Amino acid sequence: MVALGFAPVAPGTPITIAPYAAPAAAHDPTALELAKLYTTVGRELGALEARGSDAAIDLWPRYRWIRINDALVDPRKRRQTFELLGRIRRDIAAAAR
């Protein structure tokens, strides 16, 4: 028998469950922040490609798929695009190691 660290509860004891707390809102980037990140990711992809990394072949389509003009004017799309660019940037960093 494995002890899980819970104290036994007598039958009929009321149980209190804390209400669900939604996670804090994600950072809402400005259009300028998004434009800067988009440019940075493009430069980093170019540098990765110049180093001869095969990962750039897979990352370029993900980057080019982004409709930056749409994202700049729509706050919801801006946040989604900011997150997408962050994931691409993490993949670039992983490929550069």
Do 42 and 27 touch, CB atoms closer than 8 A? no
**Nearest by Cα to 33 from 90, 71, 64, 65:** 71
Domain annotation covers residue 51: yes
Count of domains in the chain? 1
Q: Is the residue at 1 inside a domain?
A: no
Q: Domain for residue 20, yes or no?
A: no
Residue 58 lies in a domain: yes
CA 75 centroid distance within chain? 16
Q: Please indicate whether residue 7 or residue 10 has the higher confidence score (pLDDT).
A: 10
Whether residue 25 is contained in a domain is answered as: no
Of all residues in the chain, what percent carry a pLDDT higher than 90? 59
pLDDT of residue 97: 82
Token pair in block for residue 35: 């434009």
Cα dist from 56 to 17, 36, 39, 91, 93, whole Å: 48, 20, 16, 10, 11
Q: Please indicate, yes or no, if residue 88 is contained in any of the structural domains.
A: yes
41 is a domain residue: yes
Residue in the structure block whose two tokens are 């980037």: 29
> Is pLDDT of 20 > 50?
no
Is 11 a member of any domain?
no
Domain with 74 in it:
31-96
Q: Is 93's pLDDT higher than 60? A: yes
